[in-house]
């Protein structure tokens, strides 16, 4: 994918790299860390994020081969500007023991099947629901935010063994979740040494 990088973004990354040394990180991990830190202006994400370079390489290949991208809320999808996303929250209904967010994930799974990239930045219950499904994801970006269930759902994601990007703390949100996906989307397929 070819994209024009605005001078403000270039300067922002220059300042980020002056304050945070990411040169020791593998290419895709570095791309995700830098884009999330850039998006949130929060250097603490550098030590809060958890991911595996091998998982990112496979997810990067799947994404660029056209794997579907599923989001838990439209706000996450709005942040992914160069790729269509699937969001079924608008069709979902809450029920006994099932939040609307969880039902949206269920509906999306029925639609896309295995091999999708899942980007969850809002509801811990959406991530919890995904973990109950046989989704066989290419990657789960699990960065829901909140004081109730967020830490626990992300810990469960890491314990699941699924290929994932998560973080340890309560923070997260739609913007950082879409930023993590965009890092993979914007990262070149033929010149991995490129930094933006």
Tokens of 111: 């639609």
Helical residues (DSSP H) of 85-134, grouped into ranges = 100-112, 124-132
All residues at 6 or more sequence positions from 135 whose CB lies less than 8 Å from its CB, including other chains: 109, 114, 116, 118
Helices and strands (DSSP H and E) totals, the chain: 9, 5
Is 38 one of the catalytic residues? Answer: yes
CA dist., res. 35 & res. 74, Å (int): 20
Instruction: Cite the beta strand spans of 16-105 per DSSP E.
Output: 49-51, 69-71
Q: Pick the catalytic residue from 24, 38, 60, 109.
A: 38
Catalytic residue annotation = 38
């Amino acid at each position: 994918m070819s994209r024009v990088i605005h001078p403000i973004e270039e300067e922002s990354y220059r300042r980020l790299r002056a304050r945070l040394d990411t040169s020791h990180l593998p290419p895709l991990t570095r791309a995700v860390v830098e884009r999330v830190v850039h998006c949130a202006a929060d250097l603490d994400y550098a030590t809060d994020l958890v991911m595996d370079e091998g998982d990112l390489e496979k997810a990067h290949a799947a994404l660029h081969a056209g794997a579907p991208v599923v989001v838990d809320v439209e706000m996450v999808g709005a942040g992914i500007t160069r790729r269509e996303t699937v969001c079924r929250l608008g069709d979902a209904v809450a029920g006994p023991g099932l939040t609307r967010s969880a039902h949206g994930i269920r509906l999306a799974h029925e639609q896309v099947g295995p091999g999708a990239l899942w980007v969850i930045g809002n509801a811990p219950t959406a991530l919890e629901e995904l973990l109950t499904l046989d989704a066989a994801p290419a990657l789960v970006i699990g960065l829901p935010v909140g004081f109730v269930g967020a830490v626990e759902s992300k810990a469960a994601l890491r314990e699941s063994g699924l290929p994932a990007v998560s973080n340890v703390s309560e923070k997260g949100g739609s913007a950082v979740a879409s930023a993590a996906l965009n890092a993979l989307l914007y990262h070149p397929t033929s010149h991995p040494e490129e930094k933006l």
